[in-house]
Structure 1
Amino acid sequence: MRIACDRHRQLMISFAPIVLLVSAINLLGVFASNAGSYLKSGDESFSNREYFAAIRHYTSFIEIDPDASIGYSKRAAAYIQQKRYKDALRDLDKLVDIDPSYVNGYLQRSQVLRQTCELDEAESVVSKALGMKPGHAGAKKELSMVTQAKDALKQVESSYENNDFTKAEEHLEVLLSLSPDCSKARFLRARILLKKKDYAGVVGETGFILKENEDDLDALLLRGQAYYYLSDFDVATRHYQKGLRLDPEHSSLKKEYFKLKNLLKKTKNAEDLFEKGKFRKAVEQYNEALSLDPEHEAQNFVLYLGLCKTLVKLGRGKEALPACSSALKIDGEHAEALLQSGEAKILVEDWEGAMSDFKTSFHKSQSQSAREGLHRAEKGLKLSKRRNWYEILGVETTASASDIKRAYKKLALQWHPDKNVDNKEEAERKFQDIAAAYEVLGDEDKRTRYDRGEDEEPQMGGPGFNPFGGGGGGSGSGFTFTFEGGFPGGGGFGFNF
């Protein structure tokens, strides 16, 4: 019995290597079967555009067979569909390491590099593929596309430097058709759009860049500038601050950030001073704010309008007009800007211009202020067309009754026809105007009605108003006026005050 057991043990030992070999063969068969199923599953997911699942299956295949180039090639294709170009390039590098003679591996690698605008490297890679197979049609086509992309990029940069943005955009379209994921092209497009003041377009372009790399400083700068010019100052500030947290010494970010802060500070100071009635100081702050960024149309409209309103408050119509005009140049349909322009024109007695502004403002806003302004402008126009009795007597509209009487006496003496025998016709005309002016302004009721804008004409033929109506003595001029103390130099006339 003991001998039989020993023989059985010896027999088992002698068969052990065979058993292990069979087990290994069976296990390899299982692995091969599993690898094939992973590859098949990955292909099915890829064809269904389920790229995450495809990558998972191809990764399982690679783990089973890390030396099979096909796994890296297929996974790279799935990465490309997800725009995970760095991952794709790593797989393609591994692929050509495994099989340095695999031309399509180099070709795939060049295509990825061209997509992302790594054009010099793409040219080097595809040239290597052509060196291996000079007649390879796919490699020749790829080299042509890389060459076209390089030329388009050069033309874009040259046109941009020459400020020919239309030409630059044309070349950009060519470049992006060859390299659709070229971040350099997107940067150039964003800069062109910023120059063309298409700020919403800049936001869109830089959004694509920041999706790929949320810490891209150039994209944060450009996007911040776009929001700044859109007057979305809070969002602009957040972009600048994020960039400065990543690089506190970034000169362009620092410059834009502090320019924004200064602009907001000056604007707020000006508005606060206006509200407090400190108009002269407000004018200084508005002008300082306007000097900070002449290109910022949206903010400068606010500043020009504020400056216009402030100067109108100060009664400085001539200075207000350029500010109002600058605001309207930016937005010619703005009701408040039109209203303030009308007020400035009233101050300089441009009645018809004021009426036009008030009418347009009222049409857009139906505001009571515009309606009242229109009535004042219409009244001013009417008054401007009647005779200005104050001007004829050379007195201010605020002159007292005694000032008016004194001016009348002086002018009546100066222009009496008997004292102006050499220019009697002019003297008679002026003397009549002086008498007419005094008839209105020397009478309190008539003057009040005249100041209200009512038609108040002298009663032609009234006492002392039409002194050339015949009769009288002295020089035969028909005057019967007597000044207190007589008229120096004689003359048979007199009139009493």
Structure 2
Amino acid sequence: MAAAAECDVVMAATEPELHDDGEAKREAESFKEQGNAYYAKKDYNEAYNYYTKAIDMCPKNASYYGNRAATLMMLGKFREALGDAQQSVRLDDSFVRGHLREGKCHLSLGNAMAACRSFQRALELDHRNAQAQQEFKNANAVIEYEKIAETDFEKRDFRKVVFCMDRALEFAPACHRFKILKAECLAMLGRYPEAQSVASDILRMDSTNADALYVRGLCLYYEDCIEKAVQFFVQALRMAPDHEKACIACRNAKALKAKKEDGNKAFKEGNYKLAYELYTEALGIDPNNIKTNAKLYCNRGTVNSKLRKLDDAIEDCTSAVKLDATYIKAYLRRAQCYMDTEQYEEAVRDYEKVYQTEKTKEHKQLLKNAQVELKKSKRKDYYKILGVDKNASEDEIKKAYRKRALMHHPDRHSGASAEVQKEEEKKFKEVGEAFTILSDPKKKTRYDSGQDLDEEGMNMGDFDANNIFKAFFGGPGGFSFEASGPGNFFFQFG
């Protein structure tokens, strides 16, 4: 940029006469020289003031406008600089530096086609001009980046668009259009702080920029701050009523907010079927709104858990964490569903994820409970063996043992095959184990809490199921099963 904005210290030999008043010309030249001195010191504000004084004295001197354009470029005021550069070449079409500065301003502002025309004119006047040759290549590179970005945006390849805009902005640092496109793609990629920063920088320079207002709203919308997002979309539409993207985003935001709130209301009222339908409709509004959709999936998962559709609830919570891997509520909901469906390993995994993120006492206890249930699940389920509920009473446990013990007693299956006899003997022994544990309050408590029964000094492999059977039925002697008919048996004490 410094090369393009280099100040013209030497006046053109063919500079036209601008004033008859020689004194005015000498004074203007003095102002220009002072401007050059300040420019050399990089005091561009003072240089601007003196070039302006020179222009006021001789308003038809192309060089003065060229110098002021160079100063404005160094101040980053490319739009104002463009006006001066264009005026300089209107006054003197053979002014090469004027064409270069005009092209540089066009390029910095993102108008690469206009920049190409200016650089081409400079090359027509001086075909060996190295700066004009390089800038012409730069302008064509920007045109190519624009074309690629347009195609990739349609393909929703937002990362590539950001790459192209970053390259283009190296040559067009003042182009709001490129910055807005980059910010919009950053928002679509979930890189909200970066997108907000770009949009905010533009709004600081131009608070009425509808595109920047739209991107600012888009970031809020995708961060699930829907109400605030709507305010920015509305403001953008005030600035540009025909802003199509802001119009669509505003409509989606309002619809999403309304559906979500209606779903929440139905849920609170216990109308789970309606809540499910409303959350499903909300999920169809905008698939790009990842954060809000993650919450909607979790909400629908909660509805499914209330409806006891636990597999569907797990699926919804999984969809939620796929969209937002930091969504603790979804992990907790899914973990509870895993617990309810006795998928303890999965529950432990989710609770571990939660506890690693938020080390609270509550989360620690949930993890501990899941770990206990996992440990218990890997042991024999004595309740299942007896066919009773985990809250079964003492009488229910006794009745269950009586039924199962008689059902699996080896004598009852003495006429069966060796394989069947072996299986029934195994079941008979397990029934005895189950009764031994669950009929003893102390052992039952340890078993229910997940503690190791071996710590009690009880080796379950050493006990005799027949002795337990005899003790339960109270018979001092032997016992036998006698047939009273095909398939019918009755128990007889000896």
Q: Same fold (TM over 0.5)?
A: yes
Q: Give a deviation string over 1:48-84, Cα, whole Å, max 9, x none.
A: 4444444343333323322333332222223323333
Which SS does the other structure have where 2:81 is aligned? helix
Q: How much does 1:255 deviate?
A: 1.4
2:209 is the alignment partner of 1:205:
no
Give aligned-pair identity as a percent: 27
Distance 1:364 1:89 in 2: 54
Show the counterpart of 1:298: 291
Q: How far apart, CA to CA, are the structure 2 residues paired with 1:162 and 1:336?
A: 33
What residue number does 2:492 align with?
494
Match of 2:102 in 1: 109
| Aligned equivalents of 2:470, 2:176: Cα separation in 1 | 89
Deviations along 1:350-394, whole A, 9 cap, x unmatched? Answer: 223333443454454343333433443344345434544554454
- For the residues of structure 2 that align with 1:411 and 1:211, how far apart are their CA atoms? 81
The counterpart of 1:146, out of the listed 126, 139, 149, is 139
Unaligned runs of 5+ in 1: 1-26, 473-477
The Cα of 1:256 is off from its aligned counterpart by 0.7
Give the secondary structure class of the aligned counterpart of 2:110: coil
Q: Which residue number in structure 2 is paired with residue 239 of structure 1?
A: 232
Q: Specify the alignment match of 1:67 in structure 2.
A: 60
Output the CA distance in 2 between the equivalents of 1:355 and 1:97: 77
Which is greater in Rg? 1
Matched, 1:318 2:311: yes
What is the CA deviation profile of residues 151-174 of structure 1, one whole-angstrom value per residue up to 9, with x for unaligned ones? 444444455555666665555455
CA-CA distance at 1:128 after TM superposition: 3.3
Helix, strand or coil at the partner of 1:228: helix
Which aligned pairs between 1:467-482 and structure 2 lie closer than 5 A?
A: 478-479=478-479
Residues 1:244 and 1:430: Cα distance change in structure 2 (over 3 Å): same
CA shift digits 1:296-331 (9 cap, x unpaired): 333344344444555556655433322333344455
Pairing partner for 1:257 from 250, 254, 261: 250
Partners of 1:67 and 1:492 in 2: how far apart?
A: 126
Q: How does 1:7-156 map to 2 (within 5 A)?
A: 28=21, 31-32=24-25, 34-134=27-127, 138-156=131-149
- SS of the counterpart of 1:219? helix
Please, what is the CA RMSD of the aligned residues?
A: 4.6
Contact 2:290 / 2:324 at 8 angstroms: preserved in 1? no
Structure 1 residues 149 and 280, CA gap change in structure 2 (3 angstroms): closer
- Residue number among 410, 416, 421 corresponding to 2:415 in the alignment: 421
Q: Is the 8 A contact 2:162 2:186 kept in 1?
A: no
State whether residues 342 and 373 of structure 1, in contact with CA within 8 Å, keep that contact through their aligned partners in structure 2. Answer: no
Q: 3-state SS of the aligned residue for 1:494?
A: strand
Shift of 1:349: 1.0
Cα distance between partner residues in 1 of 2:208 and 2:357: 46
The residue aligned with 1:370 is 363
- Distance in structure 2 (CA, Å) of the matches to 1:397 and 1:292: 45
Please say which of residues 79-88 and 301-310 is displaced more in the overlay: 301-310
Distance 1:195 1:452, change over 3 A: closer
What is residue 175 of structure 1 aligned with on the other side? 168
Query: What is aligned with 2:222?
Result: 229
Flag the 1:196–1:140 CA change in 2: closer, same or farther, 3 A. same
Separation of aligned partners in 1, 2:287 and 2:25: 71
Report deviation, 1:338: 4.2
Q: 1:130 to 1:434 in 2, by over 3 A?
A: closer
Count of matched residue pairs = 461
User: Residue 340 of structure 2 aligns with which residue?
Assistant: 347
Compared CA separation, residues 299 and 158, structure 1 to 2 (3 A):
closer
| Contact kept? 1:282, 1:310, Cα under 8 Å | yes
Q: Say if 1:38 and 1:61, in contact at 8 Å, map to a contact too.
A: yes
Q: CA deviation at 1:243?
A: 1.3
Q: Distance in 2 between matches of 1:87 and 1:402?
A: 95
| One-letter amino acid of the structure 1 residue matched with residue 492 of structure 2 | G
Task: Verify: 1:218 aligned to 2:192, yes or no.
Answer: no
| Native 8 Å contact 1:334 1:361 kept in 2 | no
- Report the CA distance shift for 1:267/1:28 in structure 2 as closer, same or farther (over 3 A): same
Look up the SS of the partner of 2:342 in the other structure: coil
CA contact (8 A) 2:300 2:316 kept: yes
Give distance in 1, aligned partners of 2:484 and 2:75: 109
1:111 deviation in Å?
A: 2.5
Aligned pair in 2 of structure 1 residues 257, 391: CA closer, same or farther (>3 Å)? same
Structure 1 residues 466, 46: closer, same or farther in 2, change over 3 A? same
Structure 2 CA distance for partners of 1:191 and 1:429, relative to 1, 3 Å: closer
CA contact under 8 A between 1:220 and 1:239: conserved in structure 2?
yes
* 1:107 and 1:126 in contact (8 A); partners too: yes
Distance of 2:284 and 2:102 partners within structure 1: 52
Q: Secondary structure at the match of 1:422?
A: coil
- Cα distance in 1 for residues equivalent to 2:285 and 2:400: 53
TM-score by length of 1: 0.72
The amino acid across from 1:422 in the alignment is: A
Shift of 1:260: 1.8
User: Is the 8 Å Cα contact of residues 316 and 347 (structure 1) preserved in structure 2?
Assistant: no
Q: Tell me the amino acid that sits aligned with residue 376 of structure 1.
A: N
What per-residue deviation string (whole Å, max 9, x for no partner) do you get for residues 153-196 of structure 1?
A: 44444555556666655554553333333344334433443444
Q: Which residue of 2 aligns with 1:21?
A: none
Normalising by structure 2, report the TM-score: 0.73
Q: Distance in 1 between matches of 2:333 and 2:366?
A: 10
Letter in 1 for 2:415: V
Report deviation, 1:348.
Answer: 1.1
Give the Å deviation of 1:116: 2.2
| Larger RCO (alpha carbons 8 Å, 6+ apart) | 2
Q: Which runs of 5+ in 2 are unaligned?
A: 1-19
Task: Report if the CA contact (8 A) 1:467-1:479 is conserved.
Answer: no
Cα distance in 2 for residues equivalent to 1:412 and 1:487: 19
Paired residues of 1:107 and 1:129 also in contact (CA < 8 A): yes
Partner AA of 2:218 in structure 1: Q
